[in-house]
A and B are shown apart, each in its own frame.
Chain A
């Protein structure tokens, strides 16, 4: 059925494009709206992130006199990396054609995102501001603890699937225990990587609460637009991966037809976003010295998942 295959892949490509263009900023909007509801205010409209993006593109960019080429190229590299990762990683359950499976190797994807992080940290130090150093230093510490947790969790899942390609991981059934434990670990890691509560408060600019905001403090105009979009994409990727992992625990998930599969994943993503917003409203930000303990919890969850995977395989 050549025509059917073609229609299928065309449909998939269209879905993927919609995912890339609409979902990230929409998800950010949903999270903000949910948080506003939690805090008993009306809050900004749901499409506010889109309006913000348009606003940034119209504003003049101010670049620090101390900044060099790293500062200027970082937003471009960060966005490029995020776009490529968002295209390849199956964060909405929409899987690419099987030939693309090797490109979705989770090690490649994670290290690609780390490339963006590397440049962001360098750009933070490029301006010679103290906030940048603070943010970069804390980001380095957080990622040091978060990356092992993520890799062990994904490795445990991969053990069940027999390959380190994300597409293979998410298209083969996994034991519910592993999926739940790994998924929980990945949610905590995602909170850390994206600098959300309780690790970092994304809405304030106080020194106490700055990690990601501190690193992008000096950006404005177009570069800030690129960085914000890259952050939105990364949010989708990490939350999407966590949702996919958690949904693996639901035995019916694999058997669903394509559209239901996609709808379920989207629903999961929205539910996760709202839960994160609720958590942001309820939880207080952790003291900086307690952040490593929090992340160790994620590592422990991943290790438990790994033990079960090692025993079961």
Chain B
């Protein structure tokens, strides 16, 4: 479809909607709807600091531009929509601009997105130079010349998606935005980068680069591990969730890598499995990540606290939020019969098929290793979410504000229950989702291969589980008529009612795992004992844990410092401050232009 063909030069306002775009439009709608339902209730508690009209305008622009990105048929329109998306999300990140960390986060986000878009633009220009056209469907680049533009485009997309090592902006920017915006950004916006990757690299042979499959697999594996490891160390609920976005993007990229490897080695089932796993996980992540972010937002709105070390006991005060959050956590930890398990099972099957049919011993062993890696990541995610749910919602409240929390408003509760129900529904009805995915993967091969690959009776298991739990509940209810349970203080081995300070803290919960992986981020614990007779009668004991992100301190910070220094050296000399000097520059430029034009 082409509107106003004269508008954007020779590229035009062309849209193309095919099953892949439909899938991503569905993601935008399905994940965006809860965020938009949540927004009015949430913004009420921010109304003194935030300009509501700006937020709403930017939200609507964001949704429109995201739809534009997945529907754009040519590179120019795509870049326009991409930039509008970046700018509107920037406006949303700065919504709460009176806080200093919001401003800092917004600048970092702007810098990262500009850098990513720069790479993307160079890649697109290169592709245009190679093929002579701006329209995506006319690109078919292969051979040695395809590697450089493909890598540039991938670098730009990886920055937007939050893949290691370009992920540093994500845990800074996403928490700084208001909760519904974080849900949209983390759940939907980073998926648009995945859409472009699928369209250019996986479907339809637009870029045939054999090296890309292993690169995607390796980077995806590292991102997944890195994200979940750092998530364990966070005590800000939203930052924790942002690191989990990095993890899940890693999982999606692993699926894409498997698909590309399948194509490279002519294994049609593997191609389809990898793509189906990646697409399904994209949908699932959009749903449960927005659910989790909305839950964090509800907690923030009702307690005005984001630090999980000060929360606790919210299960009695905010029951609906807790229920939805627990469902979301179970989904993200890939527990059956929810949707997270369905997509991770597909990925496991992809790895297994790679192990079975892979052409070389190294590839087969690597695939088995990746199965174990995925299990490791899953177990780390479970640890992280048990920590998050346990410390925030369960136990005793650790501060006055947590004690006084009340359930969130009706709009906010509905906005959380909706995705929770979707999580369960998508998990139980996974074969139906696979039917839809078959329409997209039919471009790679025969979709019946994919349908036959789904062997597990997840619906049956879900039904069995529900019946068994229900049966047990009824039996217990029958027994309790004669012997009812009683409520008393927590036993704690006879120590009794000790109060909230003796509960496990989040830092303490994560400490064993943090210590095991301590070398990765130089985890140090500093214990200070103060008192007159320190050994036997301490007055005060403080324990401080510290960790350092090597990527940030050893790579990015020195790079940015050296850029600033060079800018200072050169620019300071040029900017003399004298208006005459600037006018002389202009006159010289004018003369140069004349000379060039006339000769």
Direct touch of chains A and B (CB < 8 A): yes
Q: Please report A residues at the B interface, Cβ cutoff 8 Å.
A: 57-58, 60-66, 68-70, 73, 76-77, 79-81, 83-84, 102-103, 105, 107-108, 111-112, 114-115, 117-118, 121-122, 124-134, 136-138, 140-141, 143-145, 147-152, 155-156, 158-159, 162, 164-165, 205, 217-218, 221-222, 226, 288, 292, 299, 302-303, 306-307, 309-311, 313
Contact yes or no, B375 A77, CB < 8 A: no
Contact yes or no, A292 B368, CB < 8 A: no
Contacts of B389 in A (CB 8 A): 122, 125
Contact yes or no, B375 A151, CB < 8 A: yes
Contact yes or no, A70 B488, CB < 8 A: no
Contacts of A152 in B (CB 8 A): 368-369, 371-372, 375
Residue of B nearest to A133 (CB): B504
Contacts of B476 in A (CB 8 A): 76, 222
Contacts of B563 in A (CB 8 A): none
Interface of A is mostly: helix
Interface hub of B373, B458, B487 (most chain A Cβ within 10 A): B487
Residue in contact with B456 in the complex, picked from A84, A105, A133, CB distance below 8 Å: A105
| Min CB gap A171→B, angstroms | 16
Contacts of B330 in A (CB 8 A): 115, 118
Contacts of A128 in B (CB 8 A): 312-313, 394-396, 490, 500, 503
B173 interfacial contact with A, CB 8 Å: no
Convert B279-317 into 0s and 1s, putting 1 for each residue whose CB lies closer than 8 angstroms to a CB of A: 000000000000000000000000000000000110110
B523 interfacial contact with A, CB 8 Å: no
Contacts of A70 in B (CB 8 A): 315, 326, 394
Contacts of A112 in B (CB 8 A): 336, 461, 465
Query: Given contacts A65-B489, A66-B396, A125-B395, is CB(A222)–CB(B502) below 8 Å?
Result: no
Contact yes or no, A147 B504, CB < 8 A: no
Contacts of B472 in A (CB 8 A): 76, 79-80, 226
Residue in contact with A111 in the complex, picked from B322, B341, B368, B468, CB distance below 8 Å: B341
Contact yes or no, A129 B386, CB < 8 A: no
Contact yes or no, A164 B465, CB < 8 A: no
Residue of B nearest to A302 (CB): B372
Q: Please report B residues at the A interface, Cβ cutoff 8 Å.
A: 312-313, 315-316, 319, 322, 326, 330, 333-336, 341, 345, 348-349, 352, 355-356, 361, 364-365, 368-369, 371-373, 375-376, 378-380, 382-383, 386-387, 389-391, 394-396, 455-458, 460-461, 464-465, 468-469, 472-473, 476, 479-480, 483-493, 498, 500, 502-504, 508-513, 516
Determine the distance from Cα of A129 to Cα of B313 in the docked complex, in whole angstroms.
12
Contacts of B503 in A (CB 8 A): 128-130, 133
User: Could you list some 13 contacts between A and B, CB below 8 A?
Assistant: A62-B491, A63-B485, A66-B490, A84-B465, A108-B461, A111-B334, A111-B335, A125-B504, A129-B491, A130-B502, A137-B508, A145-B379, A310-B361
Residue in contact with B390 in the complex, picked from A61, A115, A134, A136, CB distance below 8 Å: A136
| Min CB gap A135→B, angstroms | 10
Determine the distance from Cα of A165 to Cα of B365 in the docked complex, in whole angstroms.
20
Determine the distance from Cα of A149 to Cα of B480 in the docked complex, in whole angstroms.
42
Contacts of A111 in B (CB 8 A): 334-336, 341
Residue of B nearest to A107 (CB): B348
Contact yes or no, A126 B488, CB < 8 A: no
Interface of B is mostly: helix
Determine the distance from Cα of A252 to Cα of B409 in the docked complex, in whole angstroms.
66
Query: Given contacts A80-B472, A162-B356, is CB(A217)–CB(B491) below 8 Å?
Result: yes
Contacts of A121 in B (CB 8 A): 382, 386, 390
Determine the distance from Cα of A144 to Cα of B473 in the docked complex, in whole angstroms.
31
Determine the distance from Cα of A65 to Cα of B508 in the docked complex, in whole angstroms.
24
Residue of B nearest to A292 (CB): B516
Contacts of A144 in B (CB 8 A): 376, 379-380, 383, 513
Rank and list the top 7 A-B pairs by shortest CB-CB distance, nearest first: A133-B504, A125-B390, A140-B383, A80-B468, A128-B395, A148-B372, A68-B315
Contact yes or no, B365 A103, CB < 8 A: no
Query: Given contacts A118-B330, A118-B382, is CB(A131)–CB(B492) below 8 Å?
Result: yes
Contacts of B484 in A (CB 8 A): 60
Contact yes or no, B485 A60, CB < 8 A: yes
Determine the distance from Cα of A302 to Cα of B376 in the docked complex, in whole angstroms.
14
Determine the distance from Cα of A222 to Cα of B481 in the docked complex, in whole angstroms.
13
Contact yes or no, B391 A147, CB < 8 A: no
Besides A103-B456, A121-B390, A122-B386, 5 new A-B residue pairs in contact (Cβ under 8 A), listed by A number: A64-B487, A112-B465, A145-B379, A149-B372, A310-B368
Contacts of B491 in A (CB 8 A): 62, 64, 129, 217-218
Determine the distance from Cα of A73 to Cα of B379 in the docked complex, in whole angstroms.
22
Contact yes or no, A306 B513, CB < 8 A: no
| Min CB gap B255→A, angstroms | 16
Determine the distance from Cα of A151 to Cα of B348 in the docked complex, in whole angstroms.
10
Contact yes or no, A103 B373, CB < 8 A: no
Contact yes or no, B461 A103, CB < 8 A: yes
Contact yes or no, A158 B504, CB < 8 A: no
| Min CB gap B525→A, angstroms | 13
Residue of B nearest to A114 (CB): B335
Contacts of A134 in B (CB 8 A): 504
Residue of B nearest to A207 (CB): B493
Contacts of B348 in A (CB 8 A): 107, 164
Contact yes or no, B460 A218, CB < 8 A: no
Residue in contact with B376 in the complex, picked from A108, A147, A155, A288, CB distance below 8 Å: A147
Contacts of B461 in A (CB 8 A): 84, 103, 108, 112
Query: Given contacts A64-B488, A77-B469, is CB(A159)–CB(B376) below 8 Å?
Result: no
Contact yes or no, B382 A143, CB < 8 A: yes
Contact yes or no, A130 B498, CB < 8 A: yes
Residue of B nearest to A154 (CB): B371
Residue in contact with A151 in the complex, picked from B372, B396, B486, B516, CB distance below 8 Å: B372
Contact yes or no, B504 A132, CB < 8 A: yes
Residue of A nearest to B476 (CB): A222
Contact yes or no, B492 A129, CB < 8 A: yes
Contact yes or no, A147 B379, CB < 8 A: yes
Contact yes or no, B486 A63, CB < 8 A: yes
Contact yes or no, B395 A115, CB < 8 A: no
Contact yes or no, B512 A141, CB < 8 A: yes
Residue of B nearest to A162 (CB): B356
Interface hub of B376, B390, B473, B476 (most chain A Cβ within 10 A): B390
Residue in contact with B364 in the complex, picked from A102, A127, A313, CB distance below 8 Å: A313
Residue in contact with B487 in the complex, picked from A65, A77, A307, A311, CB distance below 8 Å: A65
| Min CB gap B501→A, angstroms | 10
Contact yes or no, A62 B486, CB < 8 A: yes
Determine the distance from Cα of A114 to Cα of B383 in the docked complex, in whole angstroms.
11
| Min CB gap B526→A, angstroms | 19
Contact yes or no, A306 B365, CB < 8 A: yes
Contacts of B396 in A (CB 8 A): 66, 128
Residue of B nearest to A84 (CB): B464
Contact yes or no, B489 A64, CB < 8 A: yes
Contacts of A60 in B (CB 8 A): 483-486
Contact yes or no, A68 B394, CB < 8 A: yes
| Min CB gap A7→B, angstroms | 26
Determine the distance from Cα of A14 to Cα of B151 in the docked complex, in whole angstroms.
61
Contacts of A126 in B (CB 8 A): 315, 390, 394-395
Contact yes or no, A64 B336, CB < 8 A: no
Determine the distance from Cα of A156 to Cα of B491 in the docked complex, in whole angstroms.
45
Determine the distance from Cα of A80 to Cα of B504 in the docked complex, in whole angstroms.
29
